[in-house]
């Protein structure tokens, strides 16, 4: 059933490449943690460890290494001490789409394990108010440890339900990141059965029941004129286009979808309809990222709150 759905989601010209990516050797990837060090220092340290990082053309702090160097990258000194953060290039796109600036108030919902939170902290240059929220207790403690290791001392972590944070800080934040819990379809690996062992259409619908309140809560927490980025690592339209479509109808004219302000080679247009349901044309501004051995599957949507929201 997953393969049938995938064929209906991915453009026909790219389907074979996407299918091959589920078993192809994966590149290693990471990001320079600007809270701890600089690009030149990281490159020197990795080259000293016999690694060959290649910077991403669209994000010089990000880099990849050949699949043969993937494990060694994870064992390297910069990875162990927090100077770099292992992170897939697709995962780097949502914080860049959010565009946080020094001195702003920023909220990261469902933040564990913290890779995007740390990237946001770096983009903020350690200045401003950054709140990271996680509802699962063991993931919350992992988030807190990672923020400490990454040098994000100005960020505060909260063990809370992200869909309810707005009740404490309505209309407060300049920007909100919602990298929502999802069915993780974009990370499936044929050689790792545990990555897809629990997948089912029912799992997708369970995730939707969590995703919609999270995105609604993010839009209530952001101020008028502020930006929310919604992302998942799923292919499922129910978790992506249809979640945004549903929230746009709930918000009426108080939320607009904006173009994703960054382009990467693995991006693909979103769907205009799914299983007979027409999707709000605004959602075409969002982007899918298709897996190719370097990039994982992702969905990224940037929204701006333009007016008051009803109760």
Catalytic machinery residues: 233
Rounded CA separation 254/298 (Å) = 26
C-beta of residue 305 within 8 angstroms of C-beta of residue 171: no
H/E stretch holding 42 reads helix 39-48
H/E stretch holding 208 reads helix 201-221
**Helix, coil or strand: residue 272:** coil
**Helix, coil or strand: residue 130:** strand
**Helix, coil or strand: residue 133:** strand
Rounded CA separation 92/90 (Å) = 5
> Exposed, middle or buried: residue 249 (CB in 10 Å: 0-12, 13-18, 19+)?
exposed
44, 91, 116, 153, 278 from 39: Cα distances, Å: 9, 19, 18, 21, 45
Neighbouring residues of 76: CB distance < 8 A, sequence distance ≥ 6: 45, 46, 49, 51, 84
C-beta of residue 248 within 8 angstroms of C-beta of residue 255: yes
């Amino acid at each position: 059933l997953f393969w049938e759905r995938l064929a209906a989601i991915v453009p026909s010209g790219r389907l074979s490449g996407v299918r091959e990516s589920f078993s192809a050797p994966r590149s290693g990837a990471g990001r320079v943690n600007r809270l701890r060090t600089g690009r030149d220092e990281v490159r020197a340290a990795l080259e000293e460890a016999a690694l060959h990082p290649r910077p991403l053309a669209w994000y010089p702090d990000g880099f990849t290494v050949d699949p043969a160097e993937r494990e060694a990258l994870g064992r390297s000194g910069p990875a162990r001490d927090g100077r770099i953060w292992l992170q897939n290039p697709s995962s780097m796109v949502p914080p860049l789409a959010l565009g946080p600036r020094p001195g702003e108030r920023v909220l990261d919902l469902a933040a564990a394990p913290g890779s995007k939170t740390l990237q946001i902290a770096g983009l903020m240059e350690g200045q401003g108010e950054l709140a990271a929220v996680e509802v699962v207790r063991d993931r919350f403690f992992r988030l807190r440890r990672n923020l400490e290791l990454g040098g994000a001392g100005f960020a505060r972590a909260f063990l809370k339900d992200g869909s309810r944070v707005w009740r404490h800080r309505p209309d407060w934040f300049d920007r909100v990141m919602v990298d929502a819990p999802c069915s993780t379809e974009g990370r499936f690996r044929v050689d790792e059965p545990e990555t897809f062992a629990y997948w089912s259409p029912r799992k997708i619908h369970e995730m939707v029941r969590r995703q919609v309140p999270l995105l609604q809560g993010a839009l209530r927490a952001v101020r008028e004129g502020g930006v929310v980025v919604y992302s998942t690592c799923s292919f499922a339209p129910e978790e992506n286009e249809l979640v945004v479509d549903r929230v746009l109808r709930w918000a009426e004219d108080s939320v607009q979808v904006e173009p994703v302000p960054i382009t990467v080679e693995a991006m693909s247009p979103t769907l205009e309809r799914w299983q007979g349901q027409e999707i709000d044309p605004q959602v075409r501004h969002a982007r899918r990222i298709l897996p190719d051995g370097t990039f994982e599957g992702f969905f990224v949507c940037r929204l701006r709150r333009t007016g008051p929201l009803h109760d």
